[in-house]
């Protein structure tokens, strides 16, 4: 795994739009996507209300071109506006002879990082802990734990290195992608590397932070992280197709994935995801549930107003590569006006986003063909094109 490829491994998860086998496949009951500014049965695109059929036809064209250009095997996608029912679609195939469908499940990856940020803030709101607490309160033996806060862990400013880009980890991962990893094994690798910087002096994406934070939440409360995610997010939003998994299982129907990173094109659907995040936050989902998640996280409906402001505060804006308009918050990116996550893992790639000014949730998930580029997140490229059509006044 090259360093660039390793850096894109942020798991699967997004808000989705999907077409199947060249023909638009709409989920049963797939309904109106009208915003408050458009009549029922229409959606805002380019500052004008257009019919759903016109919007779908244009998105279909965008996706077809992207699939041919980038050799995408399947594309799942969807959008929703305000509290209107979502539009869900699918293109391509999950397996030979099995078309992709909007109800297929996949690993939601970095969406769960947004969940971790949310339950951290919920715990802060309840007084169970403070986001300003030092890591040394629970793990005093970790490097510079007396300087690392919980905020630094969730927003990438702890200075800890990422185990995912460690050469020894990569060698072991590629030798056996079905291996089960424990949180302590992953943390040991991450903390065994030289720190990127002193705590609070730079930004650097590191899975190490999220695994540590999961352990902190469990130690601070005496309860599994999966329980907090279920009680704080899944149950309130009625996300019945989203679940935490302790194994590589994905509930049926499954969107299968394929990957060429080990030097040959092979199915990677059931590669073990235990290395990706804190236990309890290794999850599977479907498009409809992820759209609900994007809107709820983007609107701050699951946390207090003060915590939502903190969730999206520009605390990392002063660090490279960020700016006042693009930075990393509590488990989500803020890119201009969009709230974003773009996970990728073992042949899957996804991007979910929410535009508060339009109450627009949008997501794209893709699987890769044999000739697809290995570097970069191809779903993000496609989502940018769809976003440019639906909201050209809000650059992504």
Got the DSSP string for 305-350? HHHHHHHT--TTTTSTT--SSEEE-SSSEEETTEEEE--EETTEEE
Q: Is the dihedral of CA 262, 263, 269, 270 positive or negative?
A: negative
What's the token pair of residue 65? 């071109």
Contact 32, 41 (CB under 8 A): yes
Coarse DSSP helix, strand, coil percentages of the chain, rounded to the nearest 5 percent: 35, 20, 50
pLDDT at 20: 34
Helix axes 378-390, 52-70, angle to 10 degrees: 150
Q: What is the pLDDT of residue 161?
A: 98
Q: What are the two backbone dihedrals, phi and then psi, of residue 234, each rounded to the nearest 5 degrees?
A: -65, -50
pLDDT in tens, the chain (396 residues): 444 444 444 333 333 333 333 333 444 333 333 345 788 888 899 789 999 899 999 999 999 999 999 999 999 999 999 888 888 999 999 999 999 999 999 988 889 999 999 999 999 999 999 999 999 999 999 999 999 999 999 999 999 999 999 999 999 999 999 999 999 999 999 999 999 999 999 999 999 999 999 999 999 999 999 999 999 999 999 999 999 998 999 999 999 999 999 999 999 999 999 999 999 999 999 988 989 999 999 999 999 999 999 999 999 999 999 999 999 999 999 999 999 998 888 888 888 999 999 999 998 889 999 999 988 889 999 999 999 999 999 988
Q: What is the CATH architecture of 3-390?
A: 3-Layer(aba) Sandwich (3.40)
Q: Domain segments of the chain: what residues?
A: 3-390
H/E element, 173: helix 167-175
CA distance 277 to 55: 36
d(CA 29, CA 336): 33
In degrees, rounded to 5, the angle at the alpha carbon of residue 111 between the alpha carbons of residues 106 and 114 is 160
- CA 158 to chain CA centroid, Å, is 21
Cα 365 to Cα 90: distance, rounded to the nearest angstrom: 10
Q: For residue 64, what pLDDT is reported?
A: 95
Query: Quick one: which of 283, 108, 275 has its CA closest to 188?
Result: 275
- Report the half-sphere exposure of 384 (CA within 13 A, side-chain side): 11
Query: Nearest to residue 186, comparing CAs of 164, 170, 171?
Result: 164
């Amino acid at each position: 795994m090259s360093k660039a490829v390793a850096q894109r491994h942020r798991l699967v998860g997004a808000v989705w739009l999907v077409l199947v086998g060249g023909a638009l496949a709409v989920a049963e009951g797939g309904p109106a996507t009208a915003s408050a500014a458009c009549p029922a049965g229409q959606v805002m695109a380019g500052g004008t209300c257009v019919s759903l059929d016109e919007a779908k036809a244009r998105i279909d064209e965008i996706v077809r071109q992207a699939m041919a250009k980038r050799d995408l095997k399947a594309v799942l996608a969807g959008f929703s506006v305000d509290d209107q029912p979502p539009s869900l679609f699918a293109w391509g195939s999950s397996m030979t002879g099995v078309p992709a469908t909007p109800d297929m499940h996949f690993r939601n990856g970095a969406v769960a990082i947004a969940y971790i940020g949310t339950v951290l803030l919920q715990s802060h709101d309840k007084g169970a802990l403070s986001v300003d607490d030092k890591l040394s309160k629970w793990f005093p033996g970790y490097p510079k734990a007396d300087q690392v806060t919980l905020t630094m862990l969730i927003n990438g400013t702890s200075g800890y290195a990422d185990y995912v880009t460690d050469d020894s980890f990569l060698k072991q991962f590629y030798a056996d992608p079905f291996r089960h990893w424990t949180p302590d094994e992953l943390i040991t690798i991450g903390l065994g590397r030289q720190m990127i910087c002193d705590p609070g002096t730079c930004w650097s994406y590191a899975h190490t932070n999220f695994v540590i934070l999961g352990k902190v939440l469990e130690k601070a409360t005496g309860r599994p992280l999966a329980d907090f995610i279920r009680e704080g997010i899944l149950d309130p939003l009625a996300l019945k197709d989203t679940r935490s998994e302790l194994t590589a299982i994905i509930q049926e129907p499954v969107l299968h994935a394929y990957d060429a990173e080990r030097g040959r094109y092979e199915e990677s659907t059931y590669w073990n995801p235990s290395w990706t995040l804190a236990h309890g936050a290794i999850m599977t989902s479907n498009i409809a549930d992820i759209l609900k998640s994007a809107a709820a996280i983007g609107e701050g409906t699951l946390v207090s107003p003060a915590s939502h402001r903190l969730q999206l505060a520009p605390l990392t804006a002063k660090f490279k590569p960020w700016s006042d308009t693009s930075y990393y918050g509590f488990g989500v990116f803020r890119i201009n006006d969009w709230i974003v996550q773009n996970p990728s893992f073992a042949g899957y790639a996804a991007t979910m986003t929410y535009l508060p000014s339009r109450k627009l949730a949008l997501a794209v998930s893709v699987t890769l063909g044999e000739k697809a580029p290995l570097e970069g997140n191809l779903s993000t490229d496609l989502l940018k094109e769809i976003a440019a059509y639906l909201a050209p006044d809000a650059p992504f």
